[in-house]
Amino acid sequence: MFTATDYTKTAAYADIDHCWNGSEYYLEAHEENGAWETIDRDQAVSEDGKAYYAEYFFGKEGDDVRIPERTYAAEDIETYAQTW
């Protein structure tokens, strides 16, 4: 069985964790078919780890486009939240 501890050893976890904890990144999200908006990290998931939004993007100053490598589905963020 794959656990949250196992997940912390993956590249996906390392990528999200780097952005989540990096002060140089801001967080954007959008609801299904909604517009992107900048959110605080505490607005990303509920207390029980459920994502509030459909998709998330970690941006940096100067980004002209949303870079796919820093764009994550709700399920990715929920899995990351299980490690807290």
Residue 5, pLDDT score: 81
- Whether the Cβ atoms of residue 51 and residue 44 lie closer than 8 Å to each other: yes
Residue 75, pLDDT score: 95
- Whether the Cβ atoms of residue 45 and residue 79 lie closer than 8 Å to each other: no
pLDDT tens per residue, the chain (84 residues)? 767 788 899 999 999 999 999 999 999 999 999 999 999 999 999 999 999 999 999 999 999 999 999 999 999 999 999 998
For residue 44, how many C-alpha atoms fall within 13 Å in the half-sphere facing its CB?
25
Question: pTM of the full predicted structure?
Answer: 0.91
Residue 4, pLDDT score: 79
